[in-house]
Amino acid sequence: MDTSQLLKGVLDLAVLAVLDRADGYGYEVVRALRGAGLAEVGDASVYGTLRRLYGAGLLTSYVVPSEEGPHRKYYAINEPGRVRLRETTDRWRAFATTMEGLVGT
């Protein structure tokens, strides 16, 4: 199984974790994920995840004007997003512990 298949189940958690550290625009989130070691994450997947999380009411957004290029739409995690992040983090840790018990030595 390649890493991209594993990412599908945890991309929401990864994006929320990045935005919990700092607000960011789409490509900035992509770079943060890749910089953290998720090299196979796709731009379209991250942008779709941002739109979905925003639509679910877990993120807010605002536009920052730019004189050198297009305006950037920044995303910020809100309180419902932080609640979801905590819940998902707990589930992820339990799952990772279970998997480590199965495949670890």
pLDDT tens-digit map of 37-95: 999 899 999 999 999 999 999 999 999 998 888 899 999 999 999 999 999 999 999 99
Cβ atoms of residues 73 and 61 within 8 Å: yes
- Tell me: pLDDT of 14 over 80: yes
Q: What is the mean pLDDT of residues 23-35?
A: 97
Q: Rounded to an integer, what distance in angstroms lies between the CA atom of residue 64 and that of residue 79?
A: 22
The pLDDT of residue 101 is above 90: yes
What lies within 8 Å, CB to CB, of 41 at 6+ separation is 7, 11, 14, 30, 33, 34
Given a cut of 80, is residue 105 above it in pLDDT?
no
Looking at residue 69, its pLDDT comes to 84
pTM of the predicted model as reported, rounded to 2 decimal places: 0.91
Q: Which helix (H) or strand (E) holds 9?
A: helix 3-21
Say how far apart CA 53 and CA 38 lie, in whole Å: 19
CB-based contact 15:94 (threshold 8 Å) = no
In this prediction, residues 11-21 reach a mean pLDDT of 97
* pLDDT at residue 70, as a whole number: 87
